[in-house]
Amino acid sequence: VMNLLSPGQVMNRSFDKLKLVNTYGAFGTVGRDRPEVVLQATWDKTLTSDTKWTEIEWKCKPGDISRRPCLITPYHYRLDWQVWFAAMGNYQHNPWLVHFVSQLLHNKKAAKDLILTTFNDDEAPTFIRAQLYDYKFTKLGHTREDDEHDLSASWEVGDWWSRRFRETYLPPLSLKDQQLQNYLKAHGW
C-alpha cells in the first residue's frame, strides 16, 4: 500500500492511460546490492595457478566496474536479464547457461552475437568459468576508506560499481570435459 502512495509512482500514473506499467510484480523496490554472474574465458591449454582469465562482457549488465550502466528503455537485453536471475540461484537450475557456455566454447557466432566481448573467429576459448560477485553502485566522491560495503571490494575512484567476490558459480568447463558433454546430453543438447 505504501508503494502505491510513494512519489515513485508518479511516473507510473502518468503512463496509466496507456496500460504499460503498474505497481504489481517483483520489482516494487530495487535493492542496493545485486549478485552478478561474471563469465571468464581463457585460451590457455591447461589450467594452472598462473592461468590468465579474461572477463566476458555482456551487452548491458554489470561486469567491468568502470563501465557506465547502459540505458535501454523500455526494452531489456533478454539474455542479460536472464543471467541476472540466474545469479539468484545456481547453474543446476539454469541449464541454459551451461548450454550457452558450450556454444561460446564452440565459437558459435549466434552465441558471440549476444555478448559485448569479441573473440578471435579462428580460436575459441579453451575454458570458460563463471564467478559470482556482489555488485553495488559507488557514490560520487566516494573513497576506498568510505566503503562500508566491504573493504575487500574491488574498485577505484571514478568507477561506477564496487564488487566483492562471493564464490565460483560454475567451475571451468572445456569441450574436452566429459561431464559437460554428459550434462548437455542429459538436457537434450
pTM over 0.85: no
**Rounded to 5 degrees, what angle do the CA atoms 141, 143, 149 make?**
110
CA angle 31/36/37 to nearest 5° reads: 160
pLDDT tens column, 108-132: 999 999 999 988 878 899 999 999 9
Q: What is the pLDDT of residues 145-170, one digit of tens each?
A: 555 555 455 566 678 888 899 999 99
- Residues whose CB falls within 8 Å of the CB of residue 159, separated by 6 or more in sequence, listed in order: 65, 66, 138
Give residue for cell 547457461: 97
Q: Which residues of 101-110 are buried (b: 16+ CB within 10 A; e: fewer)?
A: bbbbbebeee
AA identity, residue 98: V
Q: What is the mean pLDDT of the chain?
A: 83
Q: Which three cell numbers stand for residue 173?
A: 568447463
Average pLDDT of span 13-34 = 61
Give the pLDDT of residue 33: 75
Identify residue 140 by its one-letter amino acid code: L
C-alpha cell recorded at residue 13: 500514473
- 179-182-188-189 Cα dihedral, nearest 10 degrees: 60
Considering only residues 3 and 188, tell me which one the structure prediction assigns the higher pLDDT: 188
Terminus-to-terminus CA distance in the chain, angstroms? 46
List the beta bridge partners of residue 130.
39, 170
The answer to whether residue 15 scores a pLDDT higher than 90 is no
Q: Nine-digit cell at 89?
A: 540461484
Query: How far apart, in whole angstroms, are the C-alpha atoms of residue 3 and residue 24?
Result: 10
